[in-house]
Amino acid sequence: MHVDKAKKRIAKQVKKGFHGYPLVSLEYFGKTPDSAIEVVISYTEEEGAEPQKQTFVSGGDAREDETIQSTLLKIIERADAKTVTEVNGISTLSET
């Protein structure tokens, strides 16, 4: 699947707003606000449950990585998520 198509389908899910659980949340991280080298996808089965998290790392910008975007979309679809949220912008990775 092309990266643009995957991004549009994810954006469409995000725009729907909150419709209950299961909930999938996406957050992008980078060293600068211009490039996301990492994305964390969280899956929450029900209210109050501990989210399950998975991290994907890209050599370039994860938002433009076709493999990562297609994988995120497949996870959302297979989880049958009623709600998809996305943290706006790119969160800064802390230096460790």
Is 29 in contact with 96 (CB distance < 8 Å)?
A: no
User: For the chain, which residues make up each domain, given as ranges?
Assistant: 3-90
Give the separation between CA 21 and CA 52, rounded to whole angstroms: 13
- What's this model's pTM, rounded to 2 decimal places? 0.89
For residue 93, pLDDT beyond 90: no
Give the separation between CA 82 and CA 84, rounded to whole angstroms: 7
For residue 14, pLDDT beyond 80: yes
- Could you tell me the pLDDT band of residue 95, with boundaries at 50, 70 and 90? low
What average pLDDT does this structure show over 81-89? 95
